Copies of this chain bind each other. A is one copy, B any other.
Amino acid sequence: MVLGKVIGSVVATQKDESLVGKKLMLVKAIDLEGNLLEPFVVAVDVVGVGIGEKVLVVNGSSARMTDETRERSIDSVIVAKVDSINIS
C-alpha cells in the first residue's frame, strides 16, 4: 500500500458505468514525515475520508477486492485512514 494525503477530488459526468456513484479523490504521495511528494493518483474512496487526511492507497487488481469496487474498472482505492506512522 502507498502512503498518501487527500488533496482534492475529481468530477466526471461522462464515464464508464464502473465509476458511477464512486467518489474520486486526488491523493498525493507523502514521505514518512508527511511532506507531499510529486506523484499523485485518482483513487476511489471506500472508507469515507476527508481532505487533508493521510490515507493508504491500494493499486492494481487488489483495488477491486472491496465490496464497492469488485469487478469494476478501478485500479486505485483508498482502503484506510492513517491514524499514526510509527518509525522505530
Question: What is the predominant secondary structure among interface residues of chain A facing chain B?
Answer: mixed
Which chain B residues lie closer than 8 Å to A66 at the CB level? Answer: 16, 18, 73
Decide if A51 touches B88 in the complex (CB within 8 Å): yes
Contact flags A11-46 to B (C-beta < 8 A → 1, else 0): 111111111000010100000100000001111001
What band does the interface of chain A fall in when counting residues whose beta carbon is under 8 Å from B? 35 or more
Q: Which residues of A contact B (CB under 8 A)?
A: 1-3, 7-19, 24, 26, 32, 40-43, 46-49, 51-52, 56, 58-67, 69, 71-77, 79-88
Decide if A32 touches B26 in the complex (CB within 8 Å): yes
Choose among A16, A24, A52, A60 the residue with the greatest number of B CB atoms under 10 Å from its CB. Answer: A16
